[in-house]
Amino acid sequence: METMMTSSQETWLWIGTAGMALGAIAILAVGRGMVETHHRVTSFFVCAIAACLYLLMAQGQGDIIVSKASLAITPIGVGADVTAKLVYFARYIDWIFTTPLLLLGLLTVGLKALTTSGEQSRERLGLVAGIIGADILMILTGLFGALSLDSTHKYVWFIVSCGFFLAILVLIWGPVRASAVAQGEGVAALYTKLLGILTVLWFIYPILWLLGTEGTGSISLNTEVAVFTIIDLTAKVGFGLLLITGSKKLSGTQSPAAAQ
Ligand code: RET
């Protein structure tokens, strides 16, 4: 039963706070003068939101202990059975805001005509709404699973969350990629690169969840917090910087009218 924030966890959470804050500043600096300014804004807020939520966790305000106690009266006395675990609920507040912003970054590369009017653009907005909706439910149901002590409840939520994850993957690898490919080599290459990186990084989250204290408990909470910090920094700061530099390069190769 892991019910205490250890000093190793605290150190990693401070590393996360500092890394996200520095990442937010780096994104503002690298994105200066870019044409697609929305990438600079969304990537900045991804890191800024994460910095605040890491600060919450580092100060010991972003976790709760979920526990369940049952009493059994037997002929030899009264026995108490207590199960408890520490859950960093702040992660899910972070993810519920940052994952839609990350997806929006990817989608605005793949669905460039999102801002143009007409029937096609409405279809694309439907696609965006579907992906963001699935993403929010993926995180919310993941939180329900993390808060579950009963293992049946926990794995039911895990499967539901994976279902929404699968829906996101089908949409970003299917119709959104087709739209990116239709826009020519430059957009297709950037979209495919970002899509590949996002998919590999995002797959680590459910695996870590399953191995960590939310799932089977095969790895300690110390390891889990350390790995989550490294993956979070890569998926937010690393992805944001790639998106900004890639988008800058792309608009540099397009005519000003095409880049609008
Ligand atoms: C959960 C619960 C178990 C099932 C699944 C999950 C997926 C989480 C993902 C999180 C991505 C987070 C990112 C954060 C920011 O950088 C919620 C762990 C499928 C994919 C990218």
Does the pLDDT value for residue 184 go beyond 70? yes
82: pLDDT confidence band, cut at 50, 70 and 90?
Answer: confident
Question: Per the domain annotation, does 151 fall within a domain?
Answer: yes
Q: How far is the CA of 105 from the centre of ligand 1 (A)?
A: 17
Res 79: pLDDT:
83
The pLDDT score that the predictor gives to residue 63 is 95
Provide the pLDDT for residue 253: 63
In a domain, 235, yes or no: yes
User: C-alpha dihedral over 36, 37, 39, 44, to 10 degrees?
Assistant: 160
Q: What are phi and psi of 73, to 5 degrees?
A: -100, 120
pTM of the model: 0.92
Q: Is 232 in the pocket of ligand 1 (CB under 6 A)?
A: yes
Residue 1 lies in a domain: no
Ligand 1 binding pocket includes 148 (Cβ within 6 Å): no
Beta bridge partners of 79: 72
- Percentage above 90 pLDDT, the chain: 81
- pLDDT at residue 39 tops 90: yes
**Between these two residues, 113 and 61, which has the higher pLDDT value?**
61
- The DSSP letter of residue 184 is -
Residue 41 has pLDDT above 80, yes or no: yes
SS3 state of residue 22: helix
The pLDDT of residue 114 is 60
Residue 183 alpha carbon to ligand 1 centre in Å: 30
Say if ligand 1 is within 6 A of residue 206 CB: yes
Evaluate whether residue 69 is within a structural domain.
yes
Q: How confident is the model at residue 243 (pLDDT cuts 50, 70, 90)?
A: very high
Q: How far apart are CA 225 and CA 215, in angstroms?
A: 14
Query: Cα separation of 13 and 203, whole Å?
Result: 22
Token duo for residue 51? 């910095």
Mutation choice for ligand 1 from 53, 87, 95, 239, CB with most ligand atoms inside 8 A: 95
Averaged confidence pLDDT in the chain: 92
Least confident range of 43-52, 109-118, 226-235, 250-259: 250-259
Q: Which of 93, 139, 148 to mutate to test the pocket of ligand 1 (most atoms within 8 A of CB)?
A: 139
Please report which confidence band the pLDDT of residue 260 belongs to, taking 50, 70 and 90 as the band edges. very low
Tokens of 189: 């290459």
Question: Does the beta carbon of 162 lie inside 6 Å of ligand 1?
Answer: yes
According to the model, what pLDDT value does residue 251 have? 87
Domain CATH for 175 = 1.20.1070.10
pLDDT of 123 higher than 90: no
CA 249 to ligand 1 centroid distance, Å: 30
Tally of structural domains, the chain? 1
Of 9-13, 115-119, 122-126, 145-149, give the lowest mean pLDDT range. Answer: 115-119
Q: 202 alpha carbon to ligand 1 midpoint, in Å?
A: 6
Structure tokens at 90: 């702040």
Question: How close is the Cα of 206 to the center of ligand 1, in Å?
Answer: 6
Which positions ≥6 away from 109 have C-beta within 8 Å?
180, 187, 190, 191, 194, 243, 246, 247
> Quick one: average pLDDT of 230-251?
96
Lowest average pLDDT, out of 113-117, 186-190, 204-208, 217-221, goes to: 113-117
2 in a structural domain: no
Q: What b/e string do you get for 100-134 counting C-beta neighbours within 10 Å, with b at 16 or more?
A: bbbbbbbbbbbbbebeeeeeeeeebeebbeebbeb
DSSP label of 61 = -
C-beta of 205 in contact with ligand 1 (< 6 A): yes
CA 224 – CA 5 distance, rounded (Å): 12
Residue bearing tokens 């963001």: 132
8: Cβ–Cβ under 8 A, 6 or more apart, which residues?
A: 222, 225, 226
Which residue has a Cα nearest atom 20 of ligand 1? Answer: 202
Which residue range is the domain that position 217 belongs to?
7-259
Tell me if 158 is assigned to some domain.
yes
Please indicate whether residue 90 or residue 77 has the higher confidence score (pLDDT). Answer: 90
Say whether pLDDT at 248 is over 90: yes
Rounded (to 5) percent helix, strand, coil in the chain = 75, 10, 15
220 or 78: which carries more pLDDT confidence? 220
What pLDDT was estimated at residue 258?
A: 43
The one-letter code for the residue type at 125 is L
